Every structure is written in C-alpha cells, then in structure tokens.
Chain A
Amino acid sequence: MSTSDIRRRDRLQRALGRTRSATRLVFRRRDSLLVLATVTSLYLLLYLWAIGHLSPGLGGFDLLVVSDPLSKLLQPELGPFSFTPVARVAVGPVTYLFSLNTVLGLGIAGLVGLNAALTYLVWRQPSACGIGRSSTGLLAGIPALLSGTACCGPVILLVLGVQASGVLLTGFQLLLPVAVMMLLGSLLLVGRQVTVQG
C-alpha cells in the first residue's frame, strides 16, 4: 500500500470517527434532536406525497388491509423501488397508502434529517469552516423525491412533458439508491466538520 493510500485511509477513518461522534452528539442535544425529528418528519411526508402514497382521496374514514399483506409487502409495483401498498387509510380528505416505500422513505428521511442536524451543529460551531458543503445533505435528498412513478413512466416526466427514453427510465430507476449514496457521502462531508468536545 502506497503512502498516499495510507493517508487516504487515515483521512477516511478520521472522517468516519468524527461523523460517528457527531451523530451521537445529535442525539444528546435537545436542539439538534429537534432538528433531526422535524426534518425527518417533513421529508417523509414530502416523499410520500411525491410518490403518491399521501394525497387527497375520495373522502370518508376507512381502513383497508389487503388479503395476505405480508406476502404482498415485497411485491414491486410500478418499478424496482416502488412497492405494492398493502393498506389504505382514509382520513377525511387525505388518503395514505402503506407499503414498504414508507419504510424506505423513513430511512431516507432519517438520513436527510441527520444531515440537517449535523449541518445545524456545524452552524452552531463558529470555528467550523466549509459551511457551504453542509447544504449538500439537503440537496442529496432531492433525487428520491423525483423517483415517483405513474402507472407507466416517472411522474416528473409527465409534469415536465418530456418523452421517456430507455436511458431516462433506467436513470429514474437508480434515483433512490443514488439518493442514499449521496446522503451517506454528504453525511461524512458534514460530520467531519463537527468538533465534539470531550
């Protein structure tokens, strides 16, 4: 292993260590925990709305669970990261569909929330530099919001009026994993800037 490789590995380990410490700090401080909870909740709602699982419904109050929900939970619906809803909750004007996407969305929302909480901590530390980078965490959450699909084709293409090519469709199938990778990368970028005392 060359010297530069060793330096790179050391830098990565340092960043990982600082991010771990910073993450623990997020959970120890009430203000950063509030940022985490707020951003996670808001992002989850936004994600569910973007994929059409939280939207205006037919009205009334209703709970429907499909037959044999566990076997259907893992069934893909409209694309590789779109899963079949197994329950429908209608509460007045709003209808919520529960699927594995809620679990995936919660995971992504947690990463976005953590990015926001770490950004908050960096902001609270006047000595920290590179504050501009800290916004990447929120930007990294955008691809997942665009991953919603209609019966055929991504919703965003319908909105923009763009014809779906094979390349575009493949690209849209990658949006969710890309978002996760970007959020993890961003977490490291921001986390390494937080200095945890003691």
Chain B
Amino acid sequence: MNSSQSIKSLQDNIAQVIKGKARVIEMAVVCLLARGHLLIEDVPGVGKTTLAHSLARSLDCSFKRIQFTSDLLPSDIVGISVFNRQKQAFEFMPGPLFANIVLADEINRTTPKTQSSLLEAMSEAQISVDNHTHPLRQPFMVIATQNPAEYHGTFPLPESQLDRFLMRLRIGYPTPDEEKKVLDRPPSLHPADEIQPVLNAQHIVDLQAQAEKVQMEDSLMDYLLAIVLATRHNNLLSLGVSTRGALALCKAAKALALVRDRTYCLPEDIKELAPTILSHRVMLNRSQGVRTKSFEHTERVIQDILDSVPVPV
C-alpha cells in the first residue's frame, strides 16, 4: 500500500463516521502528518469528540481521553511518582499523556496551571517529572476541543499554548441530508466503535517523514513569508504571526501536498491552509472594537491579507 492509498483509506475510514465533512477530515489528517496538534473549536454536539475518536480508532495505536475539568491537576495528566514499598523507591506512574493520540476534551475548562502542563509534551514530545525526562510515544498528537459559546467557568487558552496547536478547526453544522444520515444510524452503537484501524503507528511515522520531503519551491517560500510579514504589518492586528507560525504553515503545506498526492507544494496549499493555521496565532487590535478571540473575525482578516499578497507566477 503506497502513501496515497493509505492516506485515502484513512480518510475514507473516518468519513464513515463523520458524514459530509471531507475538508475537516483532510485537515485533521494533514495535522497528523505534519506532526502537529489539533484544536477543534465549535459548539457542542457537532462531532468534535467523535472526530478525534474516529481518527484515533482508525489508527492502530494507543488512545487516551482526558476530560478537562476545573479541578484537574497537572499530575492527573502527566503522571505521578508514587512510593513503592517493595522497592523502597519512588516509582513514576505515567499519566494519560503517555499515548499516541490524546484527546483533551473541553480544554478551556481547566485551570491555566493544568493547561500549561501540556506545553512541554506538545512542543518537545517529552515530559519532565521529578528531574526525570520521559519521552512520549511516536506518533504523538494532542487533539483538544473547546466550546466557544460558553464563557462561564472557562479559562481561555494562553497565547503560548494556542501557538503550539498547528491548526484550529471548526466543524460546523452538517447539511440536512447528512444530518439525516446521522439520524438513520442505529442509536445503540457509538459510531466510532464500528470502524477498524487501517494504519499502524509505523505507517504514520513513515508518512510523516515523507511529508517532510515534499519540496517547496523558493518562490513559494517567499510567498509564505510575504503572508506572514503582512500579518505583522496589518493595522487590524495587534499581534502578527510568529516564526513558529510560519514554520507551522510550511510543514502543513507540505503535508497537504502529500495528502493530495503530490511531491511538491502549490500556492494553493499555502493559501488554503493559511486561515486555519494562522487565525489563532494573531490577535486583533482591541481598538478595532471587536473581541480578541473572535474566530470569524480573525479568519476574515487573514483572508483579506491573502487577497492582497500576490501569488508568484
């Protein structure tokens, strides 16, 4: 099974569960192949958890789910050292983070202290507890969900944490036809339980390596940097895209090219991914009279920037 076939089968597998959301599935796969972490932000009940679930189920690797609540502590997710009487020593009990795919459900419901315990794991794929560094498994991907509609008892993610997510996705409501298909299913079974794994961890690692080898033409690199630079000089934005953001866009564009069965990037790849990848990394100017984190607004600003940057011929 070559790369394009395996990617296709992965997408098809998830599509059995998530109806009519081909683009969202594609983005999730891109995120996986770019070694990134995914933040899904939408109202409750549109399949955020189901998407994460079905992605994890489609892969033959470990999956843990953490329900983030306000009393969750860092040790609850990272793990804890416990004194072992037999051995007369402290023993590290790994937390749920020691899995290939971690679903951090309702991530904005926990305290910033706990949220930031994810930082090292997400950026370095390792965890330090009691002066010991524990590497995490590969592939490692955090899929976090959050609900933007509720504000009571939530802790908005700090900028540094947001920047560590490769992309922020919205799922959106399905069309009536697709919704009907969902209703048609027998309610006894969770849809994600039906599907079988199609790829294993090694497959994913290979695909990730392949995605890195996708070539990006020099002028496309310039195009990408021009977009990033434009966010830094836009007066609607008080905070532009960081270098990490530029790197994320580059990696994601390569992964998208692989997903679309190409060995090279196109301007499309960059332009299409830019709103998803950049919108949570910028901050709107407060003086513009809008709330800082408004999703639509930042995406629109990024879209305007894309419409002003010329594509290399």
Query: A and B: real partners?
Result: no
By a beta-carbon cutoff of 8 Å, the part of chain B in contact with chain A is none
